[in-house]
Amino acid sequence: MPRTARASVGEICYHVINRGNARQQVFQKQAFVELIGLACEHIAMRVLAYCVMPNHFHLGLWPYWDGDLGRWMQWLLTSHVRRYHRHYGSSGHVWQGRFKAFPIQQDEHLITVLRYIERNPLRAGLVEQAERWPWSSLGRGQNSQDNNIVCQWPWQSLRIGFGG
């Protein structure tokens, strides 16, 4: 019996995560960042933040329409699996399981989650400054190849009330 589809509501922000099978390193980080951009060409998605670590990733996503999150993630993850198996001549599971998506309130909590996503390499001890991790939305300026892969950064249209 097939799994039921995840409920993904448009116009709600999500923190999306997934990890490599058995916590193995599954990324050529730059290639995955490029796939994020290609996924946005395939299905429109607002990417608020991203961080690609050696064995997992974090995404801050804001889909336009109901169901877009699942379709976008399916395209991204299956495209990565195909590239991974082709590159390594392998087969089998690449991902530990289904991706996890947590709704984010569009208030101060959203900013907290986006900071959490971008500070992940700092907490892991991989860099001394989060901006130095080139495979994140915070560090994308550090790696000139990343300048053309961003999907849409809708900060001007994002309405977050902090008072005053």
Tens-digit pLDDT profile for residues 16-56: 999 988 777 777 668 889 899 999 999 999 999 999 999 99
Distance CA 34, CA 55 (A): 17
Distance CA 83, CA 76 (A): 11
Contacts of 140 (CB under 8 A, 6+ apart): 134, 146, 147, 149, 150
Check pLDDT > 90 for residue 118: yes
- List of domains in the chain: 13-148 (3.30.70.1290)
14, β-bridge pairs: 61, 103
Burial class (CB in 10 A: 0-12, 13-18, 19+), 150: middle
Distance CA 12, CA 55 (A): 27
Q: What is the pLDDT of residue 157?
A: 42
pLDDT class of 163 with cuts at 50, 70, 90? very low
The structure's pTM equals 0.82
> pLDDT, tens digit, for every residue of 92-111?
888 888 999 999 998 899 99
